[in-house]
Amino acid sequence: MHDPSKNDPVIEQPEPVTLFLPVLEASLGRCGIRVPRAELVRRFMTGEPRVLVVAGARDHPAQIDDDEISRRAVRALWERGALPFETSEPAVCDGIAQGHYGMTFSLVSRNLTAAMLVSQIEAHGYDAALLLDSCDKRPVGDLAAVIEVDRTRRRRGRKPFYAAFLPAQVMPERHLSKDLQDGLRALKGKGGPGVDEEIDALLLHRLKCNTYAMFKKLLDGLEAQGALPGEQRDRFLSEIAQMTCEAGGTCAFIGTGNTDKVVLHAMGFVPRGAELLTRAASDAVVATAVDALLDAVRHGREERSAARLARANLRNALTMWSAVGGSMNWLLHFPYVAGALGVKLSPTEIADLSDRTPFLIDIAPAKDRSFFTLAVETQAGAHSGLDSSARHLLDEGLLEDAETITGRWSARLADALPPNDRILYRTPLRPQSGIVEVRGNLTDSAVFKRAGLTPEALAAFDRKVYLAAFYLGEPEAQADLFHGRVLEKLRGEIAPADVRALARVNFGDAAAALEAVPDVDLLTEAARLKLLRVLVVIAGEGPKANGIPEMFYPSEYLNRDPVLRHVSAMITDGRYSGATWGPCIGHASPEALEGGAIGAVRSGDWIFMDTERRRIDVLDREASLKDGAFVPVALPIAALAARSEVAERVDGLRRRRQDIPPTIRLLLDATTTCQQGVTPVGLDVDEAL
């Protein structure tokens, strides 16, 4: 019975088997499987693999099918002689938490997920895990957890730990009904040319959760102008909401959920054909993952253990993430996962790697190219999904031939179809992808998503002087951007002569168009003529101040403003995800709470961005215009730090922080900066990438 030769401390103890029995019987019973207890005891005592199926709690749209997938996994594991166990994890949905106090808890939930799963696996002594992963922060926490378990078991001289991932399907999407489209077209001519352009643009989109936010801004704006009765606005919004998110899955844009799929695939944890599904994983898909996992466990394939797979593929994951222009959230997650591996990884290293990676995906919702249509193409056999891009990168020498859960990349990709140059490309859309890191007197490190910008858009915003519009915290910024009040904020902060001077600095002779404009109309007209540049600065949203929430609504509302989107960029010590018209710069460190210079900015400051030199600086206006010629001169850092507002703002952030529950505050206190991935303090990190 309790055989010590199995080298399994759980088997050697008396209690585990007795308490496992009702747990196993319940899981098997839900699948319609009835077996004598003698068979359960036999499998336990003979050391058959104890595999944990990790599902998600059902209050997340990407996890609502996990019950059924978990049952399929239990059946497949039992039929193959293993012992299946089930558990589930809560997960914060960024979309549900978006734009309000709930976003404070999003990123920290990643660290909590890792801690909970490590505790569960180690306390119950499982041999492997099949993770039904979804969206946002839970997949990252799960990945870090299985890595930590494997590394610490090896350190203790125990057997390796193995893991495979089954990502959730992509959420379906559809166009508005003809009646709704006709109703929206009938609004054209009521709000000006910019509104007409926005209506045309939105009608090209299939419905997603973020598309509803775009429609809300449009319709609320028309109602505020008196161009749309409130009851008609409400009817439009109700009907659009009812047609949005019609089934579960990860949202179809290139957000965190689909980036999780890309990274887990590139890390080698996802079996073939499972990364881009249009419906919940079938029996066949689940069986593929179970077979791969049990093969690794039973044959002791140490090269496929969780930590070994992740370490061998860390650079591959960075490359694939760069090639598809993945979510900026992973700029925080990569150092976190690397930290679990004992590897030090910085934004600078990630940016350098992205400089060597071509941009190979065309996700363009207005052209009906989303992750859902990509998944449909994959299921129809138009290509091999992410394996097609991996095959191309391997052939180009940009992907390392590492091990995956189903064998080495070269063997796995031998029969992969090439990209079809519709959504997945062989010919680079641009030679560089990924991110740009900028530094200066405003920040030691901040990043923006180059992949989200066209070269033309980047050129329009680069090497320009911006007027700062400062906000301490997201709520006021979100409200001003939603209601179009940003220029109003600047009117009292800058003289008309400075507006004209900045236009000459930025646009040369074209600035003459402003000379005859009355002062009272100057900012509005300069923006309309695109002879103005504004930098929306949102400070006080860093990891310690507020859990580094995502500035989705500020960036989305800026992106949907028909005037401001052409002239404005954004910088924050919070995070953001997605593409914007102009640069959206996030993760500024040090954060305002810790005295970072982003918390010293004043509305009306002149800020110069030069992405060629990777700089962003608050300027000394007088020195920059000395002798009548513009030469950007950065304000001394000490001068920024000495501004009287800094101490008052820090005190305000500390008071606001008391509204966060103390358990969460303690966790935030015990994390590092954005530059270090907001990882737990004290990780044993000593290896270079």
What's the confidence (pLDDT) of residue 134? 92
Cα Rg, the chain, nearest whole Å: 27
Cα dist. 621→372, 514, 567, 602, 604 in Å?
Answer: 49, 21, 20, 13, 11
Strands 407-408 and 443-449: unpaired
C-alpha 550/C-alpha 205 separation (Å) is: 23
**Which pLDDT band, with edges at 50, 70 and 90, does 582 fall under?**
confident
Query: Between 255 and 67, where is the model more confident?
Result: 67
Query: Taking the alpha carbons of 57, 61, 64, 70 in that order, is the dihedral positive or negative?
Result: negative
pLDDT average, residue stretch 594-617:
95
* Whether pTM exceeds 0.75: yes
Task: Tell me the C-alpha distance between 158 and 12, whole Å.
Answer: 14
As a whole number, the mean pLDDT across the chain is 93
Q: What whole-number percentage of the chain has pLDDT above 90?
A: 79
- Residues forming beta bridges with residue 584, ordered by sequence position: 570
Q: How confident is the model at residue 578 (pLDDT cuts 50, 70, 90)?
A: low
Q: Which of the residue ranges 25-39, 58-72, 218-232 would you say has the lowest mean pLDDT?
A: 218-232
Q: Can you give the pLDDT at residue 206? A: 86
pLDDT, position 213: 85
481-518 burial by CB neighbour count: b if 16+ within 10 A, else e? bbebebbebbeeebebeebbbbbebbbeeebeebeebe
Q: How far apart are CA 676 and CA 294, in angstroms?
A: 35
CA neighbor of 85 nearest in space, from 126, 117, 56, 44? 126
Contact predicate 516/541, CB 8 Å: no
pLDDT at 198 over 80: yes
Token pair, residue 41, equals 């005891």
Q: What single string gives the DSSP state of each residue in 537-558?
A: EEES-SHHHHS--B-HHHHHHH
Local confidence band at 412 (pLDDT 50, 70, 90 cut-offs) = very high
What would the pLDDT profile of 260-269 be if each residue is shown by its tens digit? 999 999 999 9
- What percent of the chain is predicted at pLDDT more than 70? 99
Q: Is 618 helix (H, G, I), strand (E, B) or coil?
A: strand
**What is the CB neighbour count within 10 angstroms for residue 341?**
23
Cis peptide upstream of residue 590 (ω within 30 degrees of 0): yes
Selected residue with higher pLDDT from 288 and 560: 288
> What does the pLDDT look like over 433-486, one tens digit per residue?
888 899 999 999 999 888 777 778 888 899 999 999 999 999 999 999 989 899
**Number of C-alpha atoms within 13 angstroms, CB side, residue 143?**
38
Tell me the mean pLDDT in the region 498-503: 93
Closest CA to 191 of 165, 159, 225: 225
**Residue 72 near residue 166, CB atoms below 8 Å:** no
Separation in Å, CA 201 to CA 214, 303, 460 = 10, 49, 21
> b vs e for 171-197, b when ≥16 Cβ sit within 10 Å of the residue's Cβ?
bbbeebeeebeeebeebeeebeeebbe
Mean pLDDT of 395-411: 97
Candidate from 84-93, 243-252, 269-278, 613-622 with smallest mean pLDDT? 243-252
Mean pLDDT calculated for residue range 9-15: 89
Mean pLDDT of 332-340: 95
Facing residues of 571 across strands?
A: 537, 585
Q: How is residue 639 written in tokens?
A: 């001068």
Model confidence at 523, pLDDT cuts 50, 70, 90, reads: very high
Q: For residues 505 and 514, what is the distance between their CA atoms, to the nearest angstrom?
A: 13
Token pair recorded at residue 323: 């090639």
Q: Which range, of 35-44, 207-216, 458-467, 480-489, averages the lowest pLDDT?
A: 207-216
Q: How confident is the model at residue 214 (pLDDT cuts 50, 70, 90)?
A: confident
- Contact yes or no for 575/551 (Cβ under 8 A): yes
Give burial (CB, 10 Å; 0-12/13-18/19+) of 12. middle
Q: What is the pLDDT of residue 579?
A: 58
Rounded CA separation 687/344 (Å): 6
Q: What is the pLDDT of residues 646-655, one digit of tens each?
A: 999 999 999 9
Both tokens of 42, joined, read 């036999």
Task: List domains and CATH numbers for the chain.
Answer: 1-47 (no CATH), 49-172+251-412 (3.40.50.2300), 178-243 (no CATH), 435-657 (3.50.30.80)
Closest Cα to residue 129, out of 88, 68, 81? 88
Using CA atoms, how far apart are residues 663 and 309, in angstroms rounded to an integer? 34
pLDDT tens by residue, 550-576: 998 898 888 888 899 899 999 999 998
Alpha helix stretches (DSSP H) within 508-657: 522-528, 543-546, 552-560, 621-624, 637-641, 645-657
Could you report the per-residue pLDDT of 538-550, keeping only the tens digit for each? Answer: 999 999 999 999 9
Q: How far apart are CA 272 and CA 290, in angstroms?
A: 12
Judged by DSSP in three states, 8 sits in coil
Where do the DSSP E strands lie in 333-461?
343-344, 403-404, 407-408, 435-440, 443-449
Nearest alpha-carbon partner for 553 in 491, 610, 494, 473: 473
* Mean pLDDT confidence for 230-248: 92
Q: Return the pLDDT at 212.
A: 87
Alpha-carbon distance of 582 to 457, in angstroms, equals 6
CA 321 remoteness from chain centre: 11
- Burial (CB < 10 A; 0-12, 13-18, 19+), residue 380, is exposed
* Structure token digits, residue 173: 């999407």
- pLDDT at residue 236 above 90? yes
Distance CA 614, CA 590 (A): 17
Q: How far apart are CA 357 and CA 428, in angstroms?
A: 9
Residue 42, classified by CB atoms within 10 Å of its CB into exposed (0-12), middle (13-18) or buried (19+), is exposed
Element (H, E) at 535: strand 534-539
Burial profile 242-267: b = 16 or more Cβ within 10 angstroms, e = fewer: eebbeebbbbbbbbbbbbbbbbbbbb
